[in-house]
């Protein structure tokens, strides 16, 4: 079997695994690297070279620098700008929001920016009485476009720079494609401000005083009374196994006007206790006779009394988003013992437009899921400190190191200036910035590891050997020759256009980093064969790889706003397809005009 055939077979298997999502994409990438080594397509040293590649190290350092900015509350400072300048018209609000978050994501990881602005936008929409689905897609798109303003805006740009160096063209400079990025960003913001408001749906009502109504839980949360005949009398909830054997969660116990919040597992039950429970009517009816419980239908969840009981005083209800680096992703609530770990109970799960209310303990969680949780106020506040969940309501966070804010800004600016003037490579300045963040107290040493998106690091490290294998085996040249036979006589602009479109479509079903690894070497080989400007083709592929607007799964910021906005899958296609079409036509043209062919 020839090396070219073996390499193509590995690529096909990787594509199938990426699309089918049998395993996480980072694990797929690692499996690719191992398979390449086993087949002898790369040496063991080349197989693990991705972990020491300058692109991987730079991306890791930028994650940490972004965490330093977020941890010191720098991004929160601009919250007032959004409120002061946003106005009442949706077009103005989108424009102001985009002009704030876009430049920020030129230097800070866009998932970190979206994580900070999601609660801000949610609260802003609540004050305005506007559906958050009118603003959250523009928030995601603006950060994606902002990431293309500089080299360090996204991990994809950094990876493309590293591949350029491997191919013999050197790394990109910090602002090498910034002129192109600024024009593309301006065109995108004009579209989002003027056209998108007519296409954006109002899927989710503005957050009300009580979140449970948004999840239509009136048939899933009820009050039940422990009757005098109940077998639960004298037992603790843990001993009764009520919550283990049936899909029921006890949220609160009320005894003679005294409310007992979580944790409740060791609370001894008595006759007359009122239990506020989450569970379907079928489950409640099933245990009514068996356990001696009386259901009080007249005060079910739709009534004001129960709504106020479950969300007043020390008991709070909140929405929390599962982040991309969360250990909860792929696990069930039961497996991770969510109630015991966080001292809160999950009432419902929102996944895009769908709301899950049954058998919640058995539902495998996903990145982007929104959990409606109920628990003591201190437990809800505690969720804000975890790196795995994001509370979608702006609350005062006491542990931000606001006094270090301008120090963290100065560190990031120093990293940028030193790199921009070629005093040191971006990898070196970024690592120096990481050390400075710790020495100045912007970050604690233990926070470094939690700041890194290890899934992205393993994805990059696993895919870089694939690029090496494609070059060594001759696969890149073989594919390029085939493409030249099909379209080598086309004008340069149209070849650039076809590479842009092909990469854009590929990035919608794969990760943007995988698209760059596969397409960029082929594009350079075609440019060489036609004596065209290889940088023009590299920029086209790099920009197209981040041109992911048509699905909620193509780019991670899209996934982050999918649940909070209550969107349908095709909402992204309706708003994103015209934007992708505009960029597919305009971006190659701009590349030809600015950089030449």
- The angle subtended at Cα 545 by Cα 67 and Cα 187, nearest 5°, is 90
Burial 281-300 (b: 16+ CB within 10 A, else e): eebbeebeeebbbebeeebb
Residue 485 has a pLDDT of 79
Rounded to an integer, what distance in angstroms lies between the CA atom of residue 285 and that of residue 297?
12
Rounded to an integer, what distance in angstroms lies between the CA atom of residue 588 and that of residue 597?
10
Residue 58 has a pLDDT of 92
279 in helix, strand or coil? coil
Which two three-digit tokens encode residue 386? 């975890």
Torsion of CA 57, 142, 523, 4, to 10 degrees: 60
- CB of 96 closer than 8 Å to CB of 424: no
Which two three-digit tokens encode residue 506? 């590929």
Q: What's phi and psi for 150, nearest 5 deg?
A: -140, 170
Rounded to an integer, what distance in angstroms lies between the CA atom of residue 176 and that of residue 174?
6
- In terms of DSSP bridges, do strands 354-356 and 345-351 run parallel, antiparallel, or are they unpaired? antiparallel
Residue 216 has a pLDDT of 62
Rounded to an integer, what distance in angstroms lies between the CA atom of residue 193 and that of residue 468?
42
User: CA-CA distances (angstroms) from residue 487 to 483, 526, 597?
Assistant: 6, 10, 16
Indicate whether 308 pLDDT > 70.
no
Cis amide prior to 263 (ω within 30 degrees): yes
Residue 247 has a pLDDT of 65
- Binned at pLDDT 50, 70 and 90, residue 522 comes out as very high
Is the overall model pTM greater than 0.85, yes or no?
A: no
Rounded to an integer, what distance in angstroms lies between the CA atom of residue 31 and that of residue 551?
26
Which two three-digit tokens encode residue 538? 């590299």
Taking only the tens place, the pLDDT of each residue in 369-386 is 888 888 777 788 788 777
Rounded to an integer, what distance in angstroms lies between the CA atom of residue 290 and that of residue 297?
19
Q: What's phi and psi for 290, nearest 5 deg?
A: -65, -40
370 in helix, strand or coil? strand
Rounded to an integer, what distance in angstroms lies between the CA atom of residue 146 and that of residue 215?
33
- CB of 578 closer than 8 Å to CB of 550: no
Q: What's phi and psi for 176, nearest 5 deg?
A: -60, -35
Q: At a CB cut-off of 8 Å and minimum separation 6, what does 206 contact?
A: 125, 126, 128, 129, 130, 131, 132
Burial 478-499 (b: 16+ CB within 10 A, else e): bbbeebeeeeeeeebeebbbbb
Residue 210 has a pLDDT of 47
The 3 state secondary structure assigned to 376-401 is EHHHHHHHCCCCCEEECCCCCCCCCC
Edge-to-edge strands of the sheet including 221-226?
A: 258-260, 249-255, 274-278, 221-226, 293-295
Q: How many CB atoms lie within 10 A of CB 14?
A: 23
Taking only the tens place, the pLDDT of each residue in 563-582 is 888 888 889 999 999 999 99
Rounded to an integer, what distance in angstroms lies between the CA atom of residue 138 and that of residue 561?
10
Which two three-digit tokens encode residue 423? 């005093």
Mean pLDDT, to the nearest integer, of 46-50?
Answer: 92
Q: Is 8 exposed, middle or buried (0-12, 13-18, 19+ CB in 10 A)?
A: middle
The separation between CA 372 and the C-alpha centre of its own chain, rounded to angstroms, equals 18
Torsion of CA 578, 571, 211, 264, to 10 degrees: -120
- Mean residue pLDDT of the chain comes to 84
Torsion of CA 65, 67, 70, 74, to 10 degrees: -20
- In terms of DSSP bridges, do strands 274-278 and 249-255 run parallel, antiparallel, or are they unpaired? antiparallel
What residues pair up with 250 in beta bridges, in sequence order? 277
Of 309-323, 327-341, 432-446, 574-588, the poorest mean pLDDT is in 309-323
- Binned at pLDDT 50, 70 and 90, residue 355 comes out as confident
Q: Report the run of H or E that residue 142 belongs to, with start and end.
A: helix 136-146
As a residue count, the chain comes to: 597
- Binned at pLDDT 50, 70 and 90, residue 255 comes out as confident
Mean pLDDT, to the nearest integer, of 443-451?
Answer: 87
Q: What's phi and psi for 348, nearest 5 deg?
A: -165, 165
- CB of 204 closer than 8 Å to CB of 566: yes
Residue 386 has a pLDDT of 77
Q: At a CB cut-off of 8 Å and minimum separation 6, what does 298 contact?
A: none
Mean pLDDT, to the nearest integer, of 179-186?
Answer: 96
- Binned at pLDDT 50, 70 and 90, residue 302 comes out as very low
Indicate whether 295 pLDDT > 80.
no
């Amino acid at each position: 079997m020839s090396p070219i055939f073996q390499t193509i077979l590995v690529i096909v298997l990787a594509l199938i695994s990426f699309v089918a999502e049998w395993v996480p994409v980072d694990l797929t990438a690692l499996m690719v690297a191992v398979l390449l080594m086993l087949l002898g397509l790369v040496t063991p040293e080349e197989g693990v070279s991705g972990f020491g590649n300058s692109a991987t190290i730079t991306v890791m350092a930028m994650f940490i620098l972004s965490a330093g900015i977020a941890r010191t509350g720098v991004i929160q400072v601009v919250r007032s700008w959004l409120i002061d300048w946003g106005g009442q018209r949706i077009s103005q609000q989108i424009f102001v929001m985009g002009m704030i978050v876009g430049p920020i994501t030129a230097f800070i990881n866009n998932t970190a920016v979206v994580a900070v602005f999601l609660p801000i936008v949610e609260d802003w929409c609540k004050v305005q009485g506007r559906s958050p689905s009118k603003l959250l897609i523009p928030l995601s798109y603006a950060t994606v476009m902002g990431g293309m303003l500089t080299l360090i805006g996204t991990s994809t740009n950094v990876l493309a720079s590293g591949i350029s160096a491997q191919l013999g063209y050197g790394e990109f400079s910090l602002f090498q494609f910034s002129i192109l990025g600024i024009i593309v960003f301006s065109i995108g913001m004009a579209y989002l401000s003027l056209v998108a408001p007519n296409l954006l749906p109002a899927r989710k009502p503005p957050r009300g005083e009580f979140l449970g109504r948004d999840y239509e839980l009136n048939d899933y949360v009820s009050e039940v009374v422990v009757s005098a005949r109940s077998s639960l009398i004298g037992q603790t909830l843990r001993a009764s196994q009520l919550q283990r054997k049936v899909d029921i969660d006890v949220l609160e116990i009320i005894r003679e006007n005294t409310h007992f919040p979580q944790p409740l597992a060791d609370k001894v039950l008595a006759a007359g206790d009122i239990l506020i429970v989450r569970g379907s009517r079928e489950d409640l009816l099933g245990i009514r006779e068996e356990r001696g419980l009386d259901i009080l239908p007249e005060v079910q969840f739709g009534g004001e009394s129960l709504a106020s009981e479950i969300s007043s005083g020390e008991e709070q209800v909140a929405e929390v988003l599962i982040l991309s680096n969360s250990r909860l992703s792929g696990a069930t609530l039961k497996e991770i013992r969510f109630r015991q770990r966080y001292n809160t109970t999950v009432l419902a799960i929102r996944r895009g437009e769908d709301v899950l209310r049954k058998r919640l303990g058995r539902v495998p969680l996903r990145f982007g899921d929104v959990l409606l949780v109920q628990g003591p106020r201190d437990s809800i506040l505690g969720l804000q400190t975890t790196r795995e969940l994001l509370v979608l309501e702006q609350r005062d966070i006491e542990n931000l190191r606001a006094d270090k804010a301008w120090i963290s800004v100065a560190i990031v600016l120093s990293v940028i200036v030193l790199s921009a003037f070629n005093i040191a490579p971006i990898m070196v300045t970024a690592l120096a910035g990481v050390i400075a963040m710790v020495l100045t107290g912007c970050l604690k040493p233990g926070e470094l590891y939690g700041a890194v998106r290890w899934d992205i690091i393993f994805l990059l490290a696993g895919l870089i050997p694939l690029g090496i294998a494609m070059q060594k085996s001759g696969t890149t040249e073989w594919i390029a020759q085939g493409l030249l036979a099909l379209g080598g006589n086309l004008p340069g602009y149209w070849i650039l256009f076809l590479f842009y479109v092909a990469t854009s479509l590929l990035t919608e079903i794969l990760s943007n980093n995988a698209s760059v690894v596969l397409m960029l070497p082929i594009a350079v080989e075609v440019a060489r064969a036609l004596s065209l400007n290889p940088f023009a083709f590299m920029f086209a592929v790099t920009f197209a790889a981040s041109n992911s607007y048509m699905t909620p799964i193509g780019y991670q910021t899209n996934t982050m706003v999918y649940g909070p906005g209550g969107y349908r899958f095709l909402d992204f296609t309706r708003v994103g397809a015209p934007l992708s079409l505009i960029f597919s036509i305009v971006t190659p043209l701009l590349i030809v005009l600015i950089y030449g062919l």
